[in-house]
Amino acid sequence: MCPPRFILNRCLLALLWVAAASCGGEKKVEISKRSQAKIDLPAKPRLAPPVFQRQHSDGVLTVEGLLRERDAHLGREVEVRGKVKSLSLCDRVEKEVAPVGGSNPRVADPKARAQQEEIEWNCHPQPYALLVDQSGDGRHELRVGGHMTSRLASLKVGQIVDLKGSFDIVSPNRKYVDQRGLLFLP
């Protein structure tokens, strides 16, 4: 003898099968006759990669060329030409040092005191410049770092310069980090 649950399951299964077979009739598909308008789309856009200038005619790299081919130049000495977009230098702090012999600096000769001044730099943040291509939209910016005794201190905003230095993600003194790459002047 079959248990009642088994019979109930078989009956439900049969009912579902009959219901599915009766609902699966063919449907007539009607096409909407709302409009006879024709669609006029613009031409397919050109999706070719943009052309960029890798280097100048004399072999010096452009900023965009250096940054687009970053991996090929990492850890190497490179020379790049660009326009100084912005500049952040250290503040100069002059510190007086006592003249040799331990005499009072207020009493000492002013010329001797001027020769013995030490120059200190207040560098927070570290000095840097942003370099962009001289012709272009300025999207590609190269961070240039260095010491206040390097060529970095002589740069002016708007000046077009050729800079030679080491190109990497982290500067040798570990004070600059830029994932796009940075040029560190010796």
- Please state the domain extents for the chain: 52-90+126-186, 92-122
- Which of 105-114, 115-124, 151-160 is predicted most confidently? 151-160
pLDDT confidence bin for 68, thresholds 50/70/90: very high
HSE of 105 in the Cβ direction (CA atoms, 13 Å)?
10
| Domain 52-90+126-186 top-level CATH class | mainly beta
DSSP-H helix ranges across 49-91: 63-68, 70-73
Residues near 92 by beta carbon (within 8 Å), at least 6 away in sequence: 119, 120, 121, 122
Q: Which residue has the higher pLDDT, 114 or 135?
A: 135
Do 85 and 138 contact (CB within 8 A), yes or no?
A: yes
List, for residues 6-57, the tens digit of each pLDDT value: 788 888 888 777 776 666 656 666 766 776 778 888 998 888 887 888 999 9
What's the rounded Cα separation, in Å, for the pair 123 and 15?
85
What's the rounded Cα separation, in Å, for the pair 144 and 166?
10
Q: Output DSSP code: residue 55.
A: B
Q: What is the pTM of this model?
A: 0.61
Do 183 and 169 contact (CB within 8 A), yes or no?
A: no
What's the rounded Cα separation, in Å, for the pair 120 and 19?
92
pLDDT of res. 58: 95
List, for residues 71-117, the tens digit of each pLDDT value: 999 999 999 999 999 998 887 766 655 455 555 555 455 555 454 44
How many other C-beta atoms can be found within 10 angstroms of the C-beta atom of residue 42? 5
